[in-house]
Structure 1
Amino acid sequence: VVVGQDTLASSLPAMASSKGVHPNYEGRANEDQMSLGIRIITTAFQNKMNSLEQEIRGLRITLEEQRTNVGTLQRKNSGMEVELVESHQRSQQLAEENKELFKTVGSLRKQIGRLEHLKEAVMSSIQDDQVQEAELGDTKVLMSDEYLRGQTPLTAAEMGYGPPARSARPPSPPPMSEAKPYREAPQASYREASLPPYEPTTMPTGPGAAGAYRGPPQGATYGAPAAYGDPGGQYGGPCAPSAASTHGAPGGASSPVVDGKQFFRQARNRLSYEAFNLFLASIKRLNNQQQTREDTLDEARRIFGPELQDLYKDFEGLLNRHGM
């Protein structure tokens, strides 16, 4: 700008002298031209400054938008970290429950095998009873008075069941004691039938086996139906308890259960961004078995401080509930 002013000032007198203009007019023309040049330069400078200020305002608005986007992404990142931790804990819990369910299925299969064996033994005993009842029915017919009077009239007359015999006495029938084994056969069949001894099975304890079937108590036996008869008391006694009777109600009131999602929401709202990230990193190390439970609790105690002891208690309750 200075160079332009000097050049303009030096060129104006030369132009005036070459044209023969009066010196006073020449000075005023120089001043007017100088003022015009300065106004032109000032206007250009102001226009340039205004454009730069507008550009600066646009950059500031863009910067604020970027900061807002960064904050939103940080909050989303924190939420995804919380969901990742909860999903990892849930997957571990489901894996433990799956193991317990496999154990329960294996125990139930053993119970089914024992019941099938018991069913076969009972059906075999029933078939034997039916055969013996058929044989016993034939024996009753042979030992009836009507049959003896009709088939052996002379012997029946000699024994007092009919008129006196006219001829020689035929050989007497075998005594009644010889038919006794036929009448005692049902009892013998029940006593000879053997059942497999029942071994009570202890179900595994764990988070997934709270309502599992625990089997009948020790010493219980299976009772036979009364329709088949049990004169000797071979199959007497209590029957096996049903699975519904083994589901006991929980005794006493339990402590309130801490909700994991609610706990992480409170921690995210009450902790600073850096402290919350440190807390999540400590939980990750615990899940990856890079540090112990005591170290995690110590870090949580330092992060929460004395002001957030309620959050520390909730976190300790979560660890105890998940068995970590």
Structure 2
Amino acid sequence: MSGHSISIDVAVIGQDQLGETPLWCERTRRLWWLDIEQPKLRWFDPATGIDGLTRLPGTFAGTQALMADGRRLLAEDLSLYALDLGTGARTDLSAVEPGLDNRLNDGRVDARGRFWVGTMDNQLHRPAGGLYRIDPDGSTTRMAEDVIVSNGIAFSPDGRTLYFTDTRRHLGFAFDLDMHDGAITNRRVFADHTATGERPDGACVDVDGCIWMAFFAGGRIVRHRPDGAVDRTIPLPVTNPTCLCFGGDDLKTLYVTSATKFLTPQQRAAEPLAGALFAVHGAGQGLPENRFGQTTKTATVQPQGGKT
């Protein structure tokens, strides 16, 4: 980290059981994230310092995405629905894998407005999950299988590379993504943590095309270059960082969610910030989130002040 001035603030002391899937919404100018296992949609306004929440149905609220019409795409267990945050009106969209002991997990929208989302085994060891592409009309296509815990879905700035992690296989993958038909090919290992047994979790991409990743039970976030090599590591004051995204009006604040899940009472006592939302400054600059149902230009944000 030499040459980089990093500072870390606690944005919200939340005690999330499983904080996840942070997204910056430029329309509301808020950071939104989930507590998956105590299902709620949470938000933080950096301009005022105020935060709030909406309680959600189901056992697990596994993922979320922004929508073109301003609604929120949310997961309830193995189903996806659109929620109008103003009226509370819900529209069911899609369901996957009925009857399996799985749930939806991490997801992200590509530049053509398609939502990519994975499923995971609730027992954390069976390869019964998959990776799905949800088109704006709600049609659902299984794109990969033999997944234990899907995570870390992100796209390169040009939209042509899909990154995907199987946390419990300790592997990160990359695919070539056809922007026109949504096909993925040329699956290859991007980052291999099998030797250490570490658990790569949520991910996002910065303007340089580097991939930031949180390590659950690893107490840190790291930046991978596009070739998979790690070029930056930032330790955090919690054991379980879970996911991350760039936010703020200039997309220069790296927000990181965390979890109290799996911590012993002794660890909880020693980690008063477990489950908090963190704001990391000086890590770089991100890209705007795509919206479900909306085609966007790729790499519309340019680095300011040179390479980070």
Q: Does the alignment reach a TM-score above 0.5? A: no
Higher RCO (Cα < 8 Å, 6 or more apart): 2
Give TM-score, length-normalised by structure 2.
0.18
Give TM-score, length-normalised by structure 1.
0.17
Could you say which structure has the higher strand fraction? 2
